[in-house]
A and B are shown apart, each in its own frame.
Chain A
Amino acid sequence: MSHRHHFRVGPVGFRVASDWAGPIADLKRLYADYPTLEGCAATATARIEAARPWRRWVRPAVHIGGDYTIPDALPLPLSQGLLAAEMAMNLQVALGWRQHLLLHASAVERDGRAIIMVGASGSGKSTLAAMLGEGDWRLLGDEFAMLGLDDEQLSPFPRLISLKNESIAAMVACVPPERLGPIITGTPKGIIRHLVPRADAIARMDERATPALLLFPTFGGEAGLRPVPPSEAFMRLTDSSTNYVALGEPGFAALTRLVRDVPAVAIGYASSDQGVAAVEALWAELEA
C-alpha cells in the first residue's frame, strides 16, 4: 500500500491508503486546503486495494476497505478510483462513527441556523446543497449531517460534493475548474463529478449550527409543499440514519428532540432553480 494521504474533515480524521497513485493524487489536489489530522476527534482508515498484487496492473479492480468493509461488495474499475476512495471514506464513517447521530442528508447554514435536507440518492439533496452553497449559504455537508447527541447542534462535515448527470453542467458553469474533480463515467448512478466545497465551508468547518428546518426534497415530485408531522419525520430519519440503532438510547433521545423542536416540510420541485427558490421562500417565511 504505497500511496497515502491524510486530512481532517470536521470531527473526522481520514487516513487513506491506496495501491494506485492516481486516486491519491486526486485526493491531494481536491483536499489541498483541508487541515491536517491535528485536532480531530478520531481517525478513520480507508483503503482502496487490489485483491492480489498483480491485479494492481492486470485488469485493475479496486476493492474498498479500511477499518470497516462490506464483504459482498464488488470492486470498481480503476477509472472510478476517486469514487472508490470517497466510498471507502463514507463506509468508515457510516459503520463506525458513534460521536454523533448520522443522517444521510445534506445541510447548509446561514446566521448560525441550518437546513437539513434528507433524502436518498436522486432526491436532489446534493444538487440543492451545492447550489445553495454557492449562494448565500455555507455548506455544512453533502453526504452526512452529524447531529450532536447532547446538544442538538450540527457539526459540519464538508467532504467533496458528489454531482451526478444533469446536475453537473449547472455547477461546472459557475465554479472555477480547480474545484472540480475528474469526470467519472460508467458508475451505477451514471456520470459523477466531485465538487470541492467553497472556501468558507472549508475554513469554517469547526463552526457548528442549530438545526432550524428539516426538508424532505423530491426532485421531479409533485410541485408544492407539505408539512411533515413529527412521527413521519421521525420514521423517515431513522430510515436515513446509518447509526441510529447502534447508538441505542442516546440516538432515540437525540432524534425525538430533533423532530420535536424542528419543523419538517416536504417539497416537490421540477428544476434545481425552482428547488432553490422554494427553499429560500420557505426559509423567509420561517424566519419571519
Chain B
Amino acid sequence: MSDDSQPTPEESQDGSSHNAARRGVLMVGAAGVAAAVTVRPAFAQTAASVFNCEIPVPEPVYGGQYIALDGTLVPAGTQGAFPGAGRPFTGEEVRQALQGRSLPGTTAEQGSAYMNYIRRLRAGQSGFTCYASIQVPR
C-alpha cells in the first residue's frame, strides 16, 4: 500500500515523535457499529437544481403489477400490496419525500411502499436517472 502521512503509533497523539515506550490509543469501537463509509457518486446538481424529471411507480412496462410494502413488484391484487400510482411523481416530490414529507395523494403505508420501490431502482429502469439526480445533501 502506498501511504501518505499514515501516523506511526508513537506519533499518533500529537504528531511529534515520542520514545518507543509511549504508545498511542486505539479506539476499536463498539460491537456492531460500522466503521466504513463508501463515497457514492453525486449526479448532476445544477442550477435551479432539481430537474423537472419524473419517476413512474411502477415502470410503465410493469403497469399491471402491485407494489408490496418492501417496494418489490407483486401480482395485481396481492394482499397488503398497493396498485401503482395514478401519475408519475416529479423529482421534487420524491426529493421532499426523502426528507420526510409524504408523497402527494398517498397514505403513509402506500407512500412508504412507493419510496421503497423507488429506492430499489437500478440503471436502465425508467425513473432511475431522475432518482439518481436527486441527491439529498448530508
Contacts and interface: CB of A to CB of B under 8 A. Distances in A.
Interface string A60-80: 000000000011111110000
Q: Interface of chain A, helix or strand or loop or mixed?
A: mixed
Contact of A72 (B42, B47, B48, B54): B54
Interface stretch (A7-15, A198-206, A235-243, A277-285): A235-243
Interface stretch (B65-73, B110-118, B129-137): B129-137
B39 A94 contact: no
Q: Interface of chain B, helix or strand or loop or mixed?
A: loop
Q: How large is the interface on A (under 10, 10 to 19, 20 to 34, 35 or more residues)?
A: 35 or more
B52 A239 contact: no
B45 A242 contact: yes
Contact of B47 (A90, A236, A241): A90
Nearest to A159: B47
A235 B42 CA distance: 11
A235 B48 contact: no
Given A71-B129, A73-B51, A245 B41 contact: yes
Contacts of B51: 70, 72-74, 87
A12 B133 CA distance: 23
Contacts of B37: 235
A94 B49 contact: no
B41 A72 contact: no
Interface stretch (A150-158, A169-177, A185-193): A185-193
A104 B135 CA distance: 12
A239 to B, nearest CB: 5
Interface residues of B, number: 29
Chain A CB within 10 A, most for which of B48, B51, B53 = B48
Nearest to A144: B46
B48 A87 contact: yes
Chain B CB within 10 A, most for which of A72, A238, A246, A256 = A72
Chain A CB within 10 A, most for which of B44, B46, B53 = B46
A87 B47 CA distance: 6
A91 interface: yes
Interface in B24-83: 37, 39, 41-55
A18 interface: no
B43 A76 contact: no
B11 interface: no
A117 B43 CA distance: 19
A90 B48 CA distance: 10
The 8 nearest A-B residue pairs measured at CB: A90-B46, A94-B44, A72-B130, A245-B41, A74-B52, A120-B137, A72-B53, A121-B49
24 contacts: A70-B130, A70-B133, A72-B51, A72-B54, A73-B130, A83-B47, A87-B46, A87-B48, A87-B51, A91-B46, A94-B45, A104-B42, A120-B49, A120-B137, A121-B45, A121-B49, A121-B50, A143-B47, A162-B47, A235-B39, A240-B45, A241-B42, A242-B44, A244-B42
